[in-house]
Structure 1
Amino acid sequence: MAITAALVKELREQTGVGMMDCKKALNETNGDLEAAVDWLRTKGLAKAAKKAGRVAAEGLVGVVTSGTKGAVVEVNSETDFVARNDEFQGLVKDIATVALEEGENVEKLAAASYPGKSHTIAEEVTNAVAKIGENMTLRRSATVSVDEGIVCSYVHNAVVDDLGAIGILVGLKTSGKTDGLENVGRQLAMHIAATNPLAIAPEGLDQDVVDRERAVFAEQAAGSGKPAEIVEKMVEGRMRKYYEEVCLLSQTFVIDGETKIADVLKNAEKEAGAPIELVEFVRFAIGEGIEKEESDFAAEVAAAAGN
């Protein structure tokens, strides 16, 4: 496979490694970007790949909660100016409200009736496109619910209440009092916004991700020249540290910088008067994973000038 400058640039943006090392990694892996990231990591040149690609799409994430249930939706637009548009904000709020009842299936949500109108949400989005003048997409939806307890939310970089750049839902299951639990849930949601954990606990991690990390650590440790039993202990130690970094319950609470999240829940149980289980969380960041087509602004200006 031909190693293009664009591919080298993309690898450099993901890893922060120099261009020559990125080119060498791509040559060694026949242009496989993911394998090249791992190759650089085994050489000690790069940390883990960024979890998301370049964030490109604009728009808003909206959340809504009601007792034991919550919903979060992402509606994309072409520019961030639309996020300041009152009509667009109203659209996202209404869609999130409907999602609370309709659930996380986007096709079903799009086909649901729009509040106060005789047409569907999909048709209302189309109407908004014609009125506002930008392409818009209902990209995704998710819900969190608990049998008993409370679902809490937080929106980071909010433009108005419950609408912003990052939306989080946290489901706390308990048979105890929930009066004081909303603040704890909101703080946990703020923590999730900051740390972006991959799972609540190690057993919730994707096995392919775990296997990939273990393989990288194993190759790194094997290069130490130490005996096999020592290498195995080194790998297990690095895996434990990895779990602490990416699993919510073992992370250090960003609010106080010292308490583990599992202990935050234990402390909250005293006020609730019953065990508390963090059963689920959802984190939506606007445009995550969507690739944006980059343009050369200088070239555009030159072209417009007829050069």
Structure 2
Amino acid sequence: MTANLQELAPKHISVRVPAKINLSLKVAPLGEDGFHQLATVFHAVSIYDEVTVSMVKPGQEEISVGGNNAEKIPTNKDNLVSKAVTEIAKHVNQPIHARIHINKSIPLAGGMAGGSADAAAAIIGINHLWDFHLTIDELNLIASKVGSDVPFLLHGNTALGYGRGEQLTPVLHRDSLHWVIATNNFGLSTPEVYAEFDHLTKDKEIPDPEISLELLQALAHGNPNEVAINLVNDLQAAALSLKPELRRLLRAGEEAGALAGIVSGSGPTCVFLCLDDTAASDIAIDLLSSGTCTAAVTAYGPVPGARIK
């Protein structure tokens, strides 16, 4: 008796998805809709989570997590992966019975969009495993309903983000940039950082968020020194206000020879741009020796977004 094609099809699939950092993050005041409009330059870097999606029978659905800080990551509806499953099921108008395992390497609550990355990986995995053949536009729409950073993690590389970050335009980027990613054992809540930003900027006139032409030209030319002087994060002051010890980490990185250091997104992860991979390795060692961080790893970018292994 010959098995049909559905029975022969693979019942699980693994997707690798990178972390993101923001080379520039400009933030508008809180809008009447309760959100901040953004102008940002997303940059995907070579720190990866791996998400495995499996077809299961009704009632066997599950989200599980392994790897770094796995015990601190929710496995219920608070995990963006659960929202990703819900949104793609709504879009295709059919139930999706999936078991999803996340193997974490992206820092938790570190401003590197680890939760959004896992959601993007789940969307890619489900689309392929269930053979939905959704278009890029459909995937982007689903991703935007899950979270503002999720559409970028579908694509990766380097991109301009507007609105809440979900309106994307690819950026011309020549050559790789080399980074040290420095983390600590504490996290920062994104809503708390934005609330502190609102507090610090209260009664101040904030211009409409725009990305500097100088940064875009530096990326197009592949000049890390020019990129370094154009790194900016409007949320950095808020992150430093909530976690003043990050000032020591930023200072230690620059003293170790980094071209520039910046808080990544809402923090508390700090990223340091280095001249090359050799310099990055040396700076990572110096940062660990300084006692200002609990982990320092090297990475490069840009890299592609969520991809099937």
Q: TM-score range by the shorter chain?
A: under 0.3
Higher relative helix content: 1
How high is the TM-score relative to the length of structure 2? Answer: 0.23
Higher relative strand content: 2
Q: Which has the larger radius of gyration?
A: 1
| Bigger RCO of structures 1 and 2 (CA < 8 A, at least 6 apart) | 2
How high is the TM-score relative to the length of structure 1? Answer: 0.24
